[in-house]
Amino acid sequence: MSKIMKRINVSYVFYFNQKYKRVGHLFQDRFKSENVEQEKYLLALVRYIHQNPLKAGLVKRISEYKWSSYNSYLYESNYFAKMLDKDIVLGFFSSDKPTAKRKFTKFMNEDEKEQFIDIEEVEIMEEEIAKELFESMLKEQGEAKSEAVDKVIKDFSDRTNLSIRKIATIAGISKDRVHRILKS
């Protein structure tokens, strides 16, 4: 994905600079990317993306925006439907396709401030407080053995609801290791 975004950016900047007879950077920073580690976050992103044209006043209904993948989730005949792996998102709603499509439509048309499906809203701890908690949990454990650290990581994850990336940063270990610990 990074290579694709770089190519698009470089090509567009070259075109723009040529057209307007200018030189230099067009975009200030690298594009942003964020890991999607929770089902709730994925669904929030899908809804956010599909509702953007509506919020921008480009259309009156989500289904009217021709560049959106929204209709691909609902209609197999849609041009984009063949390029999109819809089963992952629709599977969060139901294993029965018609039911999943109906629930997907309802969810996508709800105000995004609503609670996501039936997942409870969770408050996330501030990073500084989380660091202090992690250090105190390590001290309580008293041992630096791998099993003790693994137990602290699991307990810490349960208590803080932080992402794998944040836990890895606070614990000073790799994201892969944190992921393995939490899956064991």
Residue 50: closest CA among 38, 39, 40, 64: 64
Neighbours of 160 (CB within 10 A): 21
pLDDT average per 10 residues of sequence, the chain (184 residues) = 79 86 70 70 87 89 90 84 86 93 92 50 69 88 74 87 85 88 85
The pLDDT assigned to 29 comes to 56
Provide the whole-model pTM: 0.48
- Tokens encoding 183: 């899956």
Structural domain boundaries in the chain:
1-33, 39-108, 127-183
The pLDDT assigned to 164 comes to 84
The pLDDT assigned to 89 comes to 92
